[in-house]
């Protein structure tokens, strides 16, 4: 019998590439609930609408950062002093927006792809290139 925790531990390897800089990551394939996916979808719509009030934009950004942090199992991204950047909404809020958006896309892409052990293979997206198969995660940086 499978458990929620077993599903949350399944990951896919991903490479986030921005301007020639590569960040290797493991994304939790089934980290997001349906409600979280809906919240991210709504948040992305709000963020794309210039008429969205500032308070709603802040809430939308928080929902996106929470989803990114929930989906990130581990990565090799460090700060300028070489310390690992933790996978928390607070730390992600201080990173380049392009990196956060690439991470969000990778998390949403991973959530939409069945486990490769189920007979289908993940497909690469513009934001993330998968380089391996799904398997239990090995830890978290946050």
- DSSP label at 117? G
Angle at 49 between CA 44 and CA 54, to 5 degrees: 90
Give every CB contact of residue 120 below 8 A, 6+ residues apart in sequence: 113, 114
CA distance 128 to 131: 9
Q: Is 99 or 120 the better-scoring residue by pLDDT?
A: 99
Q: Is 42 or 138 the better-scoring residue by pLDDT?
A: 42
pLDDT band at 133 (very low <50, low <70, confident <90, very high): very low
């Amino acid at each position: 019998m499978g458990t929620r925790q077993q599903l949350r531990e399944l990951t896919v390897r991903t490479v986030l590439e921005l301007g020639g800089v590569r960040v290797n990551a493991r994304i939790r394939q089934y980290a997001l609930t349906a409600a979280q996916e809906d919240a991210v979808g709504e948040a992305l719509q709000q963020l794309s609408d210039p008429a969205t009030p500032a308070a709603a934009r802040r809430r939308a950004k928080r929902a996106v950062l929470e989803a990114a942090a929930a989906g990130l199992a581990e990565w090799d991204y460090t700060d300028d002093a070489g310390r690992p950047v933790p996978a928390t909404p607070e730390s992600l809020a201080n990173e380049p927006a392009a990196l956060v958006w690439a991470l969000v896309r990778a998390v949403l892409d991973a959530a939409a792809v069945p486990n490769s052990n189920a007979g289908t293979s993940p497909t690469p997206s513009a934001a993330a290139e998968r380089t391996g198969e799904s398997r239990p995660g090995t830890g978290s940086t946050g």
